[in-house]
Amino acid sequence: MTVATRRAELAACRGVTVMYGRGESAVIALERVDVSIAAGERVGLVGRSGSGKTTLLHVLGGLVIPTAGEVRLGGEPMSSLDAAARGAARASTVGYVFQGANLLPTFTAFENVAFAARVSARHEDPAGLLGLVGLAPKLDALPSELSGGEAQRVAIARALAQRPELLLCDEPTGQLDSDTGSRVLDLLEALHERLGFALVIATHDPDVAARADRIVTLEDGALVGDVRLER
């Protein structure tokens, strides 16, 4: 039993396989993956492009239903839930930050966060969340008026509007320069310490992964490493 499974388990895959297509054209994105994410931990998910990192994040977050195996989210087997219940489980447990900020272009920073808060029915204060990520002066700015780092901070505030127990980040610094990316990672770590959510960051950068408590490694869709780092 891993350290993750001994603690409160937020999300887990058991023998998960994800296959796209059929026959000779079928592509296996994940193959018999077993992994658990526990409350409060920081996990670096590493592997080259095409190794299955994004697919694993989507499976852990309940966005992709596996071809085989079981996924548990918040202690519930996702296969036992209908579509509406799966959506509710995601909304109450998981937040996402992607490589690009993917903000609604005609909404201000405040409106982007407010929209997420309304959809998740969490009733969080958008201005307070933007202040938390250092963007109190940018409430009325449109995405086109923000730098790349500022836009990613809005995306983080938007994810926090769901009050997640598990924050999944897919290459969150991939489109940023090294200095801006480092500041975004510093922010994620500070928020993790303050708010206590579990944090999973998918990356191909070993320096980013080294910030985590644990490194999970994928290669060609298979889990090839799961190591807890000594601090």
Helices (H), 1-147: 3-6, 53-60, 83-93, 109-120, 126-132
Residue boundaries of the structural domains of the chain: 40-65+82-228
- SS3 state of residue 138: helix
Give per-residue pLDDT as tens, 77-135.
887 777 777 777 777 789 999 888 899 999 999 999 999 988 877 778 999 999 999 99
Q: What is the structure's pLDDT at 90?
A: 75
Q: What is the pLDDT of residues 61-82, one digit of tens each?
A: 888 999 999 999 878 888 777 7
User: Which pLDDT band, with edges at 50, 70 and 90, does 231 fall under?
Assistant: low
Average pLDDT of span 9-15: 93
Round the average pLDDT of the chain to a whole number and report it: 90
Q: Which CATH superfamily is domain 40-65+82-228 in?
A: P-loop containing nucleotide triphosphate hydrolases (3.40.50.300)
What is the residue whose two structure tokens read 């966005």?
63
Cα(110)–Cα(108) distance, integer angstroms:
5
Using CB atoms within 10 Å of the CB of residue 231, give its burial: 0 to 12 exposed, 13 to 18 middle, 19+ buried.
exposed
pLDDT at residue 222 tops 70: yes
Residue 15 has pLDDT above 90, yes or no: yes
